[in-house]
Amino acid sequence: MNQEIDIQDRPKYINPYFGGVLLGLVLLITFYITGRGLGASGAVKSAVVTTVDKVAPDHAEQNTYMKAFITDDHSPMFNWLVFESFGIFIGGLLSGALFGRIKKLRIEKSPSITNKTRLFAAGIGGILFGIGSQFGRGCSSGAALSGTASSSFGGLLVMLLMFGTGYLVAYFFRKLWI
């Protein structure tokens, strides 16, 4: 019964190839101006380092991973990727407003699972992405997209293996989506 309403209410998105060309141009301009590509997970890393540094400064200084991002003259939040990621949020807000997709807080999921299941899976997915992006030297934006576009072998490797693994395990998690 919900299905019909669902179809009618389905938001209109721009043509994916057009979207791809736009994204490619944004990426190209980013390389042209800054010499580097786009990113997303780096901002959360800065937030983690900042939080730990505020709560337990000694602990952060002793951590061999985090101390590399701590300097005396400015906060780890004063970082290119933090500003860029804040921009991603604003960009999403603008597009959402333009196409009428900003609505009250909601959970998107397959009708065959509960909200609790969806949120649990989203949380675990986030944790895995957080860990994986550190080993992978970036996430879908920094490693897979920007890395591959700048002909980095590692970027290509991350892209192929990330999507490849997705296809391998998709069957086991199909209830979450279809």
Q: Which residues in the 79-138 window bind another protein by CB under 8 A?
A: 80-81, 83-96, 98-99, 101-112, 118-119, 121-138
For another protein, the closer CB: 34 or 71:
34
Q: Which residues contact 50 (CB under 8 A, 6 or more apart)?
A: 75, 76, 77
Q: Whole-number minimum distance, CB 72 to another protein, in Å?
A: 19
What is the rounded distance in angstroms from the CA atom of residue 53 to the CA atom of residue 76?
A: 9
What is the rounded distance in angstroms from the CA atom of residue 103 to the CA atom of residue 73?
A: 41
Contact at 8 Å (CB) between 130 and 44? yes
Among 54, 57, 65, 114, binds another protein (CB under 8 A): 65
What is the rounded distance in angstroms from the CA atom of residue 87 to the CA atom of residue 32?
A: 19
Kindly identify the residues of this chain, within the stretch 4-63, that bind another protein according to CB under 8 A. Answer: 6-7, 10-11, 13-14, 16-17, 19-38, 40-41, 44-45, 47-49, 51-52, 63
| Buried residues in 11-49 as b, exposed as e (16+ CB within 10 A) | eeeeeeeeeeeeeeeebeebeeeeeebbbbbbbbbbebb
Among 5, 58, 73, 151, binds another protein (CB under 8 A): 151
Q: Whole-number minimum distance, CB 79 to another protein, in Å?
A: 9
Q: Whole-number minimum distance, CB 9 to another protein, in Å?
A: 12
Size of interface with another protein, in residues (CB under 8 A): 130
Among 56, 61, 168, 175, binds another protein (CB under 8 A): 168
